[in-house]
Chains A and B, each alone.
Chain A
Amino acid sequence: MKINLVALLSGIIFGVGLALSQMIDPNKVLSFLDVTGNWDPSLAFVMIGALVVTMLSFRFILKRSAPVLDSGFHVSRQTIINRPLLIGAGLFGIGWGMTGYCPGPAVASLGLFSVEGIIMVVAIYAGFFSQHWLANK
């Protein structure tokens, strides 16, 4: 029960963060990726803001033997850099550059009643299911 409350609260804070930083606006994201055009470095500052907090907090949090509401941390220990990682990230970047949406802002934009956001989320799921289907073939 408490786990669900924390998840909801974290989601709300994340959503407000995306809106305040305007990362929910796909054109703002595209103007970051448009390095040779009228470049807007805001997205890098969002990353810096988030990383300053998380790099500090993670060090303390991960020193604990367990999180507050669970018996252990669910953190990936994988270190292999393989082809699926590189090809997947490369394809994701192409889609990101085509649309200006990564998954977080796509979902959050539903809260602005964005029709584009709905199409984006449906298309993302089509991508998920196709990948599962190909991977399990």
Chain B
Amino acid sequence: MENFTPYSALAGGGLIGLSVSLLLLYNGRMAGISGMMNGLFSAPKKEKIWSGLFLCGLILGAFIFQYFTNGSLQLRQGYPVLLIIFGGFLVGFGTRMGSGCTSGHGICGVANFSIRSITATITFMLSGMLTVFILKQLLGAA
């Protein structure tokens, strides 16, 4: 567990909680990121604009952090592209079919004590762990 970073994890999580709270208090919206991404192409125009701005903010926030910490975040190199392509497809397909991702179900839904979101969160956590186990331990990939 030598890579465990409890303090920055809690602080970063607190910021995410603050962001989600602001969006609910002012705009009355749950910060579901897969839903916003999807909304960019399918929602009414008004929805597209705020969703797009939130996603731009997400990109900007990461950029600002990287800029002010002098490039502290390293990019992963040499990860199998096929895994990204197939995995990315499943992330897109699965989050639409299951109406949410880590932000919508995992944070907003759980905070709202939604039984649907709690079930979804346990499901994707377990299936993610099982997938990593199979990829890493049995096939020796990644």
Contact = CB atoms under 8 A, between A and B. Distances in A.
Interface string B13-38: 11111111111111111110110011
Interface residues of A, number: 113
Task: Please indicate which of the listed interface residues A26, A78, A103, A116 has the most CB atoms of chain B within 10 Å of its own CB.
Answer: A103
Given A51-B107, A114-B75, A126-B92, A94 B131 contact: yes
B58 to A, nearest CB: 4
Contacts, number: 483
Contact of A35 (B75, B116, B129): B129
Contacts of A125: 37, 41, 92
Contacts of B9: 21-22, 42-43, 45-46, 49
Interface in A92-128: 92-104, 106-112, 114, 116, 119-128
Given A45-B13, A53-B18, A120 B84 contact: yes
Contacts of A19: 12, 61-62, 65-66, 73
Contacts of A72: 28
A127 B19 contact: no
A104 B23 contact: no
A12 B60 CA distance: 6
B76 A14 contact: no
Q: Mostly helix, strand, loop or mixed at chain B's interface?
A: helix
Interface residues of B, number: 108
Interface string B44-67: 000001110111111111111110
Contacts of B97: 84, 87-88, 91, 131, 135
Contacts of B26: 2-3, 6, 67-69
Contact of A119 (B37, B57, B60, B85): B85
Contacts of B65: 15-16, 19-20
25 contacts: A4-B53, A6-B22, A11-B57, A14-B15, A14-B54, A15-B59, A18-B12, A19-B66, A22-B5, A40-B5, A41-B1, A57-B25, A76-B109, A76-B114, A90-B124, A92-B91, A93-B126, A95-B86, A97-B130, A99-B91, A109-B62, A112-B66, A123-B92, A127-B95, A128-B37
Closest 8 CB pairs of A and B: A11-B57, A15-B61, A127-B92, A49-B13, A88-B98, A21-B12, A123-B88, A53-B17
Interface of B: 1-6, 8-31, 33-34, 37-38, 41-42, 49-51, 53-66, 73-76, 79, 81, 83-99, 101-103, 105-112, 114-116, 119-121, 123-133, 135-137, 142
